Amino acid sequence: MRKSPLLVAGLLAAPATAASVSITVPQLKVAEYHRPYLAAWLEPAAGGDARTLVVWYDVKKTGAEPGTKWLADLRSWWRKGGRSLKLPADGVSGATRAPGTYQIPLPGNLKPGTYVLHVEAAREAGGREIVSVPVNFPVASGSAAGKAELGSITIR
């Protein structure tokens, strides 16, 4: 099979490895399970503006009590800038996820430096948890694990 020159050129121009975050939403054995609202954001370790990577909530719920109503339960994210984010945000907003492991790409335009990745989850009739992982960019790697609402968080 002959490869297109444009395809080969595109592959050569792409970075060898793109950094991503692996987020695990654990399966909980509880009587009443609701998928968690979740937000992940990066902020400079020395302080500065937070950059939301993803926010999962009930995007289809509308009316008198839209799905955005409970985003304030993601307290840390909400205070760091979530309240000013216009939702739905293209490339950031998404529906809540079932238990499993999900890959989220890190932005490719980050300046080299030290950051902290925060992942926060909150569930109706459940708990709230935040996991933080230090990240040195461009050599992004690290991991941490939640105790209840979040499983492992890994940066590669």
pLDDT beyond 80 at 17: no
In a domain, 6, yes or no: no
Overall domain count for the chain:
1
In a domain, 44, yes or no: yes
Residue 27 lies in a domain: no
In a domain, 2, yes or no: no
What's the pTM value of the predicted model, to 2 decimals?
0.85
152/146 Cα distance (integer angstroms)? 6
Tens-digit pLDDT profile for residues 85-127: 988 888 899 999 999 999 999 988 889 999 999 999 999 888 9
Tens of pLDDT, residues 36-91: 999 999 999 999 999 999 999 998 887 777 888 889 999 999 999 999 998 888 88
149 falls within a domain: yes
Domain that holds residue 130: 35-155
- Contact call for residues 133 and 19 (beta carbons, < 8 A): no
Residue 6 has pLDDT above 50, yes or no: no
Within-domain flag for 137: yes
Residue 21 forms part of a structural domain: no
